[in-house]
Amino acid sequence: MLFSSIPFLYYFLPVVLAVYFLVPPRLRNSVLLCSSLLFYGWGEPKYVLLMAVSILSGYGFGLLLEHYRNRPASKVCCICSVAVSLGFLLYFKYADFFLENFNSVTGLELPLLEIALPVGISFYTFQIISYTVDVYRGEPAQQNFIHLATYISMFPQLIAGPIVRYSDIADQLKDRQHSTDLAACGIRRFILGLGKKILIANQLGELCSAFRSCQETSILFHWIYGIAFCLHIYFDFSGYSDMAIGLGKIFGFHFMENFNYPYISASITEFWRRWHISLGTWFRDYVYIPMGGNRVSRGRWFWNLLVVWMLTGFWHGAAWNFLLWGLFFALLLILEKLWLLKGLQKHSVLAHIYVLFFVMLSFLLFDAQTLPEAVSHIGGLFGMGGISLSSPETLYYLSSFAPILVLALLGATPLPKTLFLKLAQRPVIGKLITWTELFALLALLLVMTAFLVDGSFNPFLYFRF
């Protein structure tokens, strides 16, 4: 089930909210847990059992870790817990990748498992690992099974994050405050995130699909595609994160921000402090720092970076292009730390161009189905293959999608928010905004509903991961 779907918006969510606020506070986590399992099992009911086993594993290992705290057995329990969680992830997400490559190397023809990828497994696996590792490091284990199960399965951030650490919401699971203002803030955030998804990301997705199906591309069309896909993945993913954060507020939770205008960055280092913040924080705290971080020899430091970014790429998908995507960023980050950062700080305009160009190259690699396709898309930016500079088809799509491209380019910067806040500070305009905001949000919701009823292009990119 997608957030950007009629069943979720007009059936599932209203019923869940009604039941949630009608029951006594002590039962609200149970309502969230049951609704989350229903949400998770909507498309593939059999995978509810997988989630249940994962939850039981995390709960049981947490209790064992607390029981054996400060004893040698605790380390064994932690290793076993991580191994079980990663074992599920490796089997369901990466088994066919390993089999395919084993067959390629050996010449054998072992049959592929062809397992459907369980929705959200990359996210809830990391949440279980963070919980058990934090208990191993000294955090108290959760004794209440419902509380922990609610944390792991919570549908607002199950399929797209942000990746929430248990310690950040442990107190909120036990006792959280609800208010009209918080709910209103959450509804506003949800609708705006839904708008980013339906009105911007989906339209840019159509442009990207048009490029992929085009028989005669051009240099200009390759550049349009590169820019459009960068904006598409940003609005698609950040829109879902906004919806998750908004839903969290409605239910009384405060989730961390996941995006902070990454395309205004002046270095790749800064870009990754602004893009998918929860994932970067997770790899920093549970992989990079335990490996020694940067407090090791230079050679070991580079190795740590390469491992972390290889794993970051592999987390996104079971394909070589994702591994190379992660290693590409590792190389850029190493070059920045060695030589580039000082120069970038002196030339801000060139720094922004450098970031946008290399991020675009990275996402062309990210989006490719095969490595030859990635080479073709990147080479097309520079005329590889003797393609023309432009074409009538290119100009048609450029003119058709120019308004949405301009809107997306502006929306990827803090400019609209800054302008809105400045206008809101003016007495007359501020009052006008206060009175009209509700009607504007309702109108926006109606427009988006019309798009959904019409059956418009509405995929979610991160279902691939």
Q: Catalytic site residues?
A: 316
Rounded CA gap, 191 and 3, in Å? Answer: 11
Rounded CA gap, 117 and 316, in Å? Answer: 12
Question: Is the CB of residue 11 less than 8 Å from the CB of residue 454?
Answer: no
Side chain identity, residue 165: R
Closest to 132 (Cα-Cα) out of 173, 80, 169:
80
Distance of CA 456 to the CA centre of its chain: 22
- Report residue 143 as tokens: 């004794």
- The residue assigned the tokens 């039941």 is 19
- The residue assigned the tokens 């504007």 is 440
The total of other beta-carbon atoms located within 10 Å of residue 7's CB is 12
- The answer for residues whose C-beta is within 8 angstroms of residue 443's C-beta and 6 or more apart is none
- Report residue 447 as tokens: 């427009």
Radius of gyration in angstroms for the set of CA atoms belonging to the chain, rounded to a whole number: 23
254 in the Ramachandran plot: left (φ > 0), alpha (ψ -120 to 50) or beta?
beta
The answer to whether the bond into 111 is cis (omega within 30° of 0) is: no
- The answer for residues whose C-beta is within 8 angstroms of residue 363's C-beta and 6 or more apart is 226, 229, 230, 233
3-state secondary structure of 47: helix
Rounded CA gap, 116 and 343, in Å? Answer: 47
Residues listed for the chain: 465
b/e sequence 363-376, b meaning 16+ C-beta within 10 Å: bbbbbbeeeeebeb
